[in-house]
Structure 1
Amino acid sequence: MQTKAYIWVLFAAMLWGTTGTAQTFLVGDAHPLTIGAVRLAIGGFGLLLFVWLSGALRGARIPWLWVALSAMCMALFQPFFFSAVQLTGVAIGTVVAIGSAPAFSGVLEALIVKRRPERVWVLSTLLAITGCILLFANRDNYIVDPIGVLLALLAGLSFAGYAMCSKNVLGVMDVVPAVAIIFSLSGVGLMPFLLFLDTGYLAEPRNLLIVAYLGLAATSLAYLLFSSGLKTIPSSSAVTLSLAEPLTASILGVAVVGETLSGQSWTGVALLLGGIALLAFRKENGKA
């Protein structure tokens, strides 16, 4: 039943939304790119060890082209997104990157698999993107850096590309070995960042536990759930539902970190919830 697939994707996005709150508990200075590299390495290599010991890779048919493209998209997302945030601020960088991903996903589906966007998907996506914009409005000073905006758009395209490419992988492979191989390759691609950036914070035991959570729960488990849902629903719908990530992050920011949201931001929360619920409700009742 497709309802479960949408729930898996929502749970995945909620786990992604915990990463910002988890990182606030890190001791010392930790560069976001090193966190991204380490979490991908832990998540990918941990799963790879599991599937290798379990024998799940024996005789597996691996579509290496789609695997490589998926890994490349996921690896590229990290530097694109974090560089965009650094250049143009958290608000603009996040809205452009996360908000553009559903649009890119719809375009990729139309061009590659010749699937025309449904009106319900268009409406729910517009609601969710508008909510995302309102949610992040006035979060910090706006710095509309053209290069930063371009990098944010590339981050959105990278995530949409990952969803599209990995769906082709999942058409051939089981979820666990597929995610294990893709994220192991992504982790390898980001290893050079660990050579040039400071990783001294990893010597702190508390930081190791937090990074382990980010790798095993917010990466391995989250992308297993996302991929499980992606097997049976369109990639454009999965990417739209992933907008639950900033929603979760904002709610945790209020409940755990002690942040405050303006009335405008709470309106954004309501629109995000409405867009996500509209998409899930439409599918649940089989009207698509």
Structure 2
Amino acid sequence: MDLHTSVPPTRLRTFAAGPLPVLVAAALWGTTGTAASFAPADPVSIGAATMGFGGLLLLALAGRSALTAARAAGPGLLLLGALAVAVYPLAFYTSMALAGVAIGTVVALGSAPVFAALLERWADGARLDGRWALAAALSVLGGALLITGGSREGGGDGSVLGVLLGLLAGATYVVYSWVAGRLMRRGHGSRAVLGALFGAGAAVLLPVLALTGGGLLRSTTGVLVAGYLALVPMGLAYVAFGAGLRRTPVRVATTLTLLEPLVAAVLGVVVVGERFGAQSWLGMALLLAGLVLAGTRRP
């Protein structure tokens, strides 16, 4: 079958320019939990190092254009985005430490489409189409099956707090994605916008790292893990995410990033040695179906 007769070129170009970079970013983000598990440090210092150093990297890549984007954003929007950037990694990594890598990841990313829809509906008056609703429902259901079908130990106050912090991570992730998308639609480049937001967020996170990161930075393994997290899931992934966000609505982008817990679960099986039953594999299939449905939406 001729590919050009079965899939319209416009659809392929739209997918390659928007959803595909978001999916690449989500896959790289899915490695964070496994990588962080090797670091001999508390989750707060890991989160502060990851997005603190990563924010400096994104600021350096953006150069002067980040200052232009920051001025255009204004103090209110810039502060909102920077605070969301700063809170997200602290909540996310602590959530994974308390509730488990997969649970923390799925709660944070699984709640994001709901938060994104509510924010876009309230702030932008966006209409929610049935295709997105079905994609989000399949993805969230798949994530829930993935977690409840696993063989992880958990329970107690730590897991409850971990879930609550995962929800906070999902909400703050949506806020800074929305701020970034808003600035990009005003004509600013993705590198400039992410450099401005994450550079401002780094100004908050690096002092946190200075207070909590002694154990992380004194260990060779800790430095290597922090370097990987800052360069790959932060630097490279957010460049790809920013490029995709220019052509993808926030509610769709946050649905696509549900690929992250799928990658995290697979790495848990292959690298960490975790085991999953039939229910969990069904959850992965539903999660993938939701991602495909969201990623192939009509332009």
TM-score normalised by length of structure 1: 0.87
Letter in 1 for 2:15: T
Aligned 1:131-280 pairs, distance under 5 A = 131-137=142-148, 138=150, 139-143=152-156, 148-172=162-186, 173-280=188-295
The one-character-per-residue Cα deviations of 1:205-233 (angstroms, maximum 9, x if unpaired) are 34323211110111011111111111111
Asked whether the equivalents of residues 36 and 78 of structure 1 are also in contact (C-alpha less than 8 Å), the reply is: yes
The residue that corresponds to 2:60 in the other structure is 49
The one-character-per-residue Cα deviations of 1:158-207 (angstroms, maximum 9, x if unpaired) are 11112211111222321112111211211221234324425223223343
CA gap of 1:21–1:146, structure 2 versus 1, over 3 A, is: closer
CA distance in 1, matches of 2:100, 2:34: 18
The one-character-per-residue Cα deviations of 1:52-95 (angstroms, maximum 9, x if unpaired) are 3xx54576663133332222112122233344455556565444
The residue that corresponds to 1:20 in the other structure is 33
The one-character-per-residue Cα deviations of 1:242-281 (angstroms, maximum 9, x if unpaired) are 1111111111222223222111111111010011011112
Local SS of the residue matching 2:156: coil
CA gap of 1:32–1:106, structure 2 versus 1, over 3 A, is: same
Local SS of the residue matching 1:117: coil
CA distance in 2, matches of 1:269, 1:194: 35
Deviates more, 1:145-154 or 1:268-277: 145-154
CA gap of 1:134–1:227, structure 2 versus 1, over 3 A, is: same
What number of residue pairs does the alignment pair up? 280
Letter in 2 for 1:153: L
Q: Indicate whether 1:62 and 2:72 are aligned.
A: yes
The share of aligned pairs that are identical, in percent, is 38
How much has 1:140 moved relative to structure 2? 2.5
Q: Indicate whether 1:31 and 2:42 are aligned.
A: yes
CA RMSD of superposed structures (Å): 2.3
The residue that corresponds to 1:71 in the other structure is 82
Aligned counterpart for 2:92 among listed residues 81, 86, 98: 81
TM-score normalised by length of structure 2: 0.84
CA distance in 2, matches of 1:209, 1:85: 20
The residue that corresponds to 2:5 in the other structure is none
How much has 1:2 moved relative to structure 2? 2.2
How much has 1:17 moved relative to structure 2? 0.4
CA distance in 2, matches of 1:278, 1:18: 23
Asked whether the equivalents of residues 26 and 237 of structure 2 are also in contact (C-alpha less than 8 Å), the reply is: yes
Runs (5+) with no aligned partner, structure 1: none
CA distance in 2, matches of 1:216, 1:182: 17
Runs (5+) with no aligned partner, structure 2: 1-12
Asked whether the equivalents of residues 66 and 169 of structure 1 are also in contact (C-alpha less than 8 Å), the reply is: no
